[in-house]
Amino acid sequence: MAEKRVEGELPDLAVSDRPDPALALARYRAHATGYDATARRSMPARLRTIAKLSLRPGDSVLDVGCGTGLSFAALLEGVGPAGRVVGVELSPEMLALARERCEQAGWGNVTLIESAIETAPLEGPFDAVLFHCAHDVLRSPEALDRIFAATRTGTRVAAAGMKLGPWWAAPLNPLVRRRARPYMTTFEGLERPWSLLERRLSRFEWRSRNFGSGWIGWGRV
């Protein structure tokens, strides 16, 4: 898989023409310790995305690329003690922090899976699926196949992340790429990150945010 580099760019900031799990592992090994601090600014968007899942007590939710577990509190508030949250994360360093978060909060209904989503053992069916800042997963047909094999008709889906802006915001796109590069291994599909996802949903809506450099989408299987 060829890496594309901008002249003068550090090797660890390279991007590939499709999702690169090995590169993602290296990236998040470096990011894990400071990830929560850098993600604080995106918490309002995260909570708005979770709200689109319309969670109900007893629901089973899949958190794709759960990272350090920043979504868990809001998800658990929605599903209640009778529900469950399953978090899948490729990075062992990120998942260790998610595990620590669960232990400190005493959350017994969270299951953590350290795995690439393409091979994760997913015990569905899930009532809701969250993709927050999971661009690499959204651009992997194999990952989406695995996820949607564990859903049912009517499963609620919500997703959010960064995107390239429309023509009138094109001057912002170099900044978008710079901000996105540490957290994704490919810019493929960055114009419409949801394009593979919406094909699997019977209904899909999305809204832009941050002057077109971000997005939130939701729908049903």
- SS3 string, 160-192, reads EEECCCCHHHHHHHHHHHHHHCCCCCECCCCCC
pLDDT at 13: 53
CA 160 – CA 183 distance, rounded (Å): 13
Backbone angles phi, psi at 215, to 5 degrees: -155, 155
Q: What is the pLDDT of residues 123-176, one digit of tens each?
A: 999 999 999 999 999 999 999 999 999 999 999 999 999 999 888 878 888 988
Q: Is the pLDDT of residue 4 over 60?
A: no
Residues of the domain holding 30 = 3-220
Give the mean model confidence (pLDDT) for residues 56-83. 98
**What distances in angstroms separate CA 165 from CA 52, 159, 185, one per listed residue?**
23, 17, 19
What is the pTM assigned to this prediction? Answer: 0.91
Residue 37 buriedness (CB in 10 A; 0-12 / 13-18 / 19+): exposed
CA 49 – CA 39 distance, rounded (Å): 15
User: Under a CB-based contact definition with an 8 Å cutoff, are residues 3 and 14 in contact?
Assistant: yes
Three-class SS of 85-121? EEEEECCHHHHHHHHHHHHHHCCCCEEEEECCHHHCC
CATH of the domain at 42: 3.40.50.150
Query: What is the percent of the chain with per-residue pLDDT over 90, rounded to a whole number?
Result: 73
Q: How many domains does the chain have?
A: 1
Confidence of residue 10 (pLDDT cuts 50, 70, 90): very low
Q: What is the pLDDT of residues 93-129, one digit of tens each?
A: 999 999 999 999 999 999 999 999 999 999 999 999 9
User: DSSP letter at 54?
Assistant: -
pLDDT at 159: 98
Q: Which residues pair with 161 in a beta bridge?
A: 215
